[in-house]
Amino acid sequence: MPAALASLLLALGGVAAPAQTFDCVAGLCIGQPFDLAAARDDWQVEDWPDPDQCTQVSGGHLPAGVGMMLQDGRIARFEIGLSDPGDAAPEAPFGLRRGMSLTEAGIRLPDEGVEVDMHKYSWPPGLYLDWLDAAHDRALRVELPGAEVEVILWGRVEAVQLSEGCV
């Protein structure tokens, strides 16, 4: 990526979202235990080899279009654009939404802690915009495989950096 584009994008950063907006969705919070065995039929759980260790969950009382990743029985991240590619998803932290342009997403991200990288599967022109708050073990990734935001992940740093399910 040209250094001028990265500098311009990062210079447009905004302000951090309040912790409760970042950490919780519909009363479910990062780090909170989630009992798969007690989940009712309205929850959809991915059929991964070891769902007790790591899996993705959607439905239940999460807003339409929002999913979450569980690691070791605890909520590790929230996601928009993975479990439901529809347009019904609400805003993510910092006011991010699917369909935004690179410039719109860049304006909403914080002033510091943002890195721009090439998309693992869609280069060119795909990009990742990663925001990291290592002191609080929080991160956010915006995936732009093309001209618009398609996926938004936020939560624990390790979980946000996973690009293929739990690996």
pLDDT at 6 over 60: no
Q: Which amino acid is at 14?
A: G
Does 121 reside within a domain?
Answer: yes
pTM (2 decimals)?
Answer: 0.85
- Other CB atoms within a 10 A radius of the CB of residue 121 amount to 10
What is the residue range of 49's domain?
26-161
Q: Is residue 6 part of a domain?
A: no
Q: What angle do CA 124, 131, 14 make, to 5 degrees?
A: 100
DSSP string, 139-157: EEEEEESSSB--EEEEESH
Residue 63 maps to which CATH number?
Answer: 2.60.460
Considering Cα of 4, then 6, then 8, then 10, what sign does the dihedral take?
Answer: negative
Max mean pLDDT range (1-5, 81-85, 105-109): 105-109
* 134 in a structural domain: yes
Number of structural domains found in the chain: 1
**Cα–Cα distance for residue pair 123/119, rounded to 1 Å:** 6
Span 21-76, pLDDT tens digits: 789 999 999 999 999 888 878 899 887 777 788 999 999 989 988 999 999 999 99
* Beta carbons within 10 angstroms of residue 164's beta carbon: 7
Q: What is the pLDDT of residues 126-149, one digit of tens each?
A: 898 999 998 999 999 999 888 899
What's the pLDDT tens digit per position in 94-124? 999 999 999 999 899 988 888 988 887 777 7
Candidates 78, 95, 82; CA nearest to 29 is 78
Helix (H) or strand (E) holding 66: strand 66-71
Determine, yes or no, domain membership for 20.
Answer: no
Q: Is residue 11 part of a domain?
A: no
Tell me what pLDDT residue 85 has.
59
